[in-house]
Amino acid sequence: MKPPVVLSHFQVKPILKARQEEKTHASTSLDLGLTSTHVELASDCVILPDRQTLSYESLVRIDKNKTACFIIENNAASKIQIFSELTNRLHTLMPTEHAPTMLLSGIPMHRIKGIDPHADTLQKMRTISPVNGAVLDTATGLGYTAIEAAKTAHHVITIELNPASLQIAQLNPWSQALFDHPKIQQIIGDTFDEIKAFEDGTFSCIIHDPPAFSLAGELYSEAFYRQLQRILKRRGRLFHYIGNLESSSGQRVSKGAIRRLHDAGFGRVLRKPEAFGLLATKA
């Protein structure tokens, strides 16, 4: 099955520029920058390699929208956007110059100021390195953490509460390994409950990137941290994303999280401001 064509304003700009210059072909990407290809420019539309056509009016509409990606099907462009009845939030795939992020009711789920979501993920991986053995990713999202972890880990388990997030991921070219990689196992459920089923000392590494404290306070609780400590191997490592540790909210949340992590049995907890999080080690 061929992957779908997905475009954003970054990819349609070179097409519109080539048309303005009266060229017959343009070079662009049909998968949000992962690969490059050529498209044919007709008088009233662009002709894609799979012989789909897209009107220039549609390209202009995509170019004007800076916060959404579009899937091209049946010669038409549709915004990649899903409303979740579970959370009562709108999920939208938002482009950046590299890997896209996901907006939840307009709030980006990755760092995008001065960094892109892929680079943000790599920063987390470097912080908790070496990423080996069995790894737990507590919040799948677009799957970037699970995909990177699977490159060096023996096995990766990733948990996602909201099926809408996975529906968005299925349409995101940067997320395809989440569904194809043999080392990745997906669980749909509430992380707070799901981790209780894991045996003691199951994981070498845990990447915990929860929603904001105001949205999911139970994932910052001492009870939850005790479960994370229990399922980590001895000397196992936990990376806990908090947000900007230098901000007033980041200082407040991280201070409470450090205290509760110690109370839960973690022997060492280090601030990692460059990765917007904390690194905790099981004693």
Same domain, 40 and 178: no
Is 269 among the domain residues?
Answer: yes
Which residue shows structure tokens 């043999």?
182
The pLDDT, as a whole number, for residue 169 is 97
Is 85 among the domain residues?
Answer: no
The pLDDT, as a whole number, for residue 249 is 92
| String of DSSP letters for 242-254 | -S-TTSHHHHHHH
Same domain, 127 and 253: yes
Same domain, 153 and 273: yes
Same domain, 186 and 73: no
Which residue shows structure tokens 């170019």?
63
Is 255 among the domain residues?
Answer: yes
Is 238 among the domain residues?
Answer: yes
pTM: 0.94
Is 15 among the domain residues?
Answer: yes
Q: How far apart are CA 132 and CA 140, in angstroms?
A: 18
The pLDDT, as a whole number, for residue 41 is 97
C-alpha to C-alpha distances, 161 to 91, 169, 173, 216, nearest whole angstrom? 14, 14, 21, 11
Angle at 250 between CA 244 and CA 252, to 5 degrees: 165
Burial 125-136 (b: 16+ CB within 10 A, else e): bebbeebeebbb
Instruction: Tell me the CATH number at 118.
Output: 3.40.50.150
- DSSP classification of residue 283: -
Same domain, 71 and 119: no
Burial of 32 (0-12, 13-18, 19+ CB in 10 A): buried
3-state helix, strand, coil in the chain (%, to 5): 35, 30, 35
Is 97 among the domain residues?
Answer: no
Same domain, 64 and 116: no
Determine which helix (DSSP H) or strand (DSSP E) holds 144, and give its type and residue range.
Answer: helix 144-149
Same domain, 193 and 144: yes
Tokens of 279: 């690194």
Is 93 among the domain residues?
Answer: no
Which structural domain, as residue segments, surrounds residue 38? 5-79
Q: Running along the chain, 283 residues long, what does each successive block of 10 average in pLDDT?
A: 87 97 96 96 95 96 97 96 92 96 90 92 95 97 97 97 96 96 97 97 97 88 98 97 94 96 96 96 92
The pLDDT, as a whole number, for residue 1 is 53
**Domains contained in the chain, number:** 2
